[in-house]
Amino acid sequence: MRHPHSDQLATVASVLPAPEPINAARRELAAVVLRAQTGDLSAQSDLVRRYSHRIAGFLRTLLRDHGAIEDVTQTVFIKMVRRLNRLRDAGSFESWLFAMARSTALDFLRSRRRRPETLIEDISEFESADPSRPALLSEITEALDLALTQLSPQDRTLVALVVEGHSYQTIATREGLTLGAVKARLTRVRPFLRTAVGEATGTRLAA
């Protein structure tokens, strides 16, 4: 015996969309990953858009510092693009990406612990390089002041703040820069300052 509403139910069912498979989203993501692996720039950009906020949020639990989070997030996606061709299973992309983010964050933390505030160490090395010259500190100060006049105003400010004893993070916050930007600028000017002070004082340090 037919249900009195069976025809109506059949009509409604015919116009409803078929239920999406549970793993449809995963298949769609895998398709994007496969395109990205071939060098498709739009697919690579799509992956960055999809995961940038999630990766940054994940890194926030490991790094805390906003500037570091921004820098490491960028590094993660640079690595992603470079290493996509090593990913064997497109379906495991998400776990692969987050594992990469974690290892990149840990590498960053280890690197930061290993790297001292090298500009201050340079000055200390100059001071102790020749104990027979008690006036060496004065010579270093004069040479450093002269060298600083040849830097851009922003680089000059950064160096002055380091010499005053401020940490890189404090300088970044004060100057409105990322921690990575502060480190990059100081790393760039450091060889110039070493050479300028060394030549002016007749002191040479190992590179």
DSSP element (H, E) containing 178? none
Q: Which domains does the chain have, with CATH numbers?
A: 24-114 (1.10.1740.10), 118-201 (no CATH)
Contacts of 3 (CB under 8 A, 6+ apart): 9
Over residues 77-135, the pLDDT tens digits come to 989 988 999 999 988 999 999 999 998 888 888 766 544 445 545 555 554 445 444 45
Closest CA to 87 of 128, 160, 133, 29: 29
Is the pTM higher than 0.75? The answer reads no
**Residue found under tokens 């160096």:** 159
Choose the most confident range, by mean pLDDT, from 27-36, 148-157, 164-173. 27-36
pLDDT of res. 138: 58
DSSP element (H, E) containing 89? none
